[in-house]
Amino acid sequence: MSARRVAFVTGGSRGIGFGIARCLAADGFDLAINGMRPADAVGDALAALEQLGAKVVYVRGDIGSATDRASMLAGVREGLGALHVLVNNAGVAPKERKDLLEATEDSFDYVVGTNLKGAYFLTQAAANWMIEQKRKDTKFRGSIINVSSISATVASVNRGEYCVAKAGLSMATQLFAVRLGEFDIPVYEVRPGVTKTDMTSGVAEKYDKLIADGLCVTARWGFPEDVGKAVAALARGDFPYSTGQVIMVDGGLTIPRL
């Protein structure tokens, strides 16, 4: 069993997830990293985390699959022996951006199955494991952090399924925060804005112009480490009396302005 606290970051081998993992590793966490790519394709990322002092295990799988979720948690238990922090970061964009009046059920099922259903039931399973640990050790400190998006409240009619999934994840945060209150396991939502990752690379030119024209109060793209710093503060336990709350990491994009 790891002598250090353990965080499980879904989608943690690249993009926002890797930014989160780097910050957690630097903060002294050992890490379980989930992704869909073969282990040999994420070797460089895992090595970078190990260089920061973390023990790292890779648990490949699709969080939208019940079988894979069970296998991943079994891998965390076998490899690290404990779970203190679950970071629900893994997410997918629609395979094709389509107008709300033309979007397909297949796309809806694909996006919601990963971004909402997968995270919801992974949280359920992880929460039960955390409760088990808490009952064995009253000093156990657990937390769950959901990485959603400004799309939880900002409507994009060409990717409605993504917005619906993130809005649902926001409510899931509140639901689990209430349910886990008796066990003193806080649940948080971190809501990134426009963040420079491979997911946004296809719309980089569009957002470069919008940011230059004043889209954000802080006049730049967000970066994975911006989200990572917020998640690390929550994971450390810096906000123990703020369960169920939303931490905005959007450069002020969602501030109403005239």
User: For 125-183, how does the pLDDT look when each residue is reduced to its tens digit (9 = 90+)?
Assistant: 999 999 999 999 999 999 999 999 999 999 999 999 999 999 999 999 999 999 999 99
Q: What is the pLDDT of residues 204-224, one digit of tens each?
A: 999 999 999 999 999 999 999
Total domains, the chain? 1
Q: Supply the pLDDT for residue 201.
A: 82
- Annotated catalytic, 162? yes
Examine residue 258 and state whether it is found in any structural domain, yes or no: no
Mean pLDDT over residues 67-81, rounded?
98
Q: Catalytic pick from 58, 120, 162, 188? A: 162
pLDDT at 58: 98
Rounded CA-CA distance 199/188 in Å is 23
Average pLDDT over residues 52-71: 98
The overall longest dimension of the chain from CA atoms, in Å, is 55
**Within-domain flag for 123:** yes
Q: Is residue 257 included in any domain, yes or no?
A: no
CATH, residue 236? 3.40.50.720
Do the domain assignments include residue 254?
no
139 contacts: CB under 8 Å, gap ≥ 6: none
Residue 2 has pLDDT above 70, yes or no: no
Backbone phi, psi, residue 125, to 5°: -65, -45
Please give the average per-residue pLDDT across 34-56, as a whole number. 97
| φ and ψ of 116, to 5 deg | -120, -60
Q: Tell whether 256 is covered by a domain.
A: no
Quote the CA–CA distance of 25 and 3 in Å, as a whole number.
14
Please give the average per-residue pLDDT across 46-56, as a whole number: 98
Residue 110 domain flag: yes
pLDDT at 257: 96
253, part of any domain: no
Range of the domain at 223: 6-248
Q: Is 133 contained in some domain?
A: yes
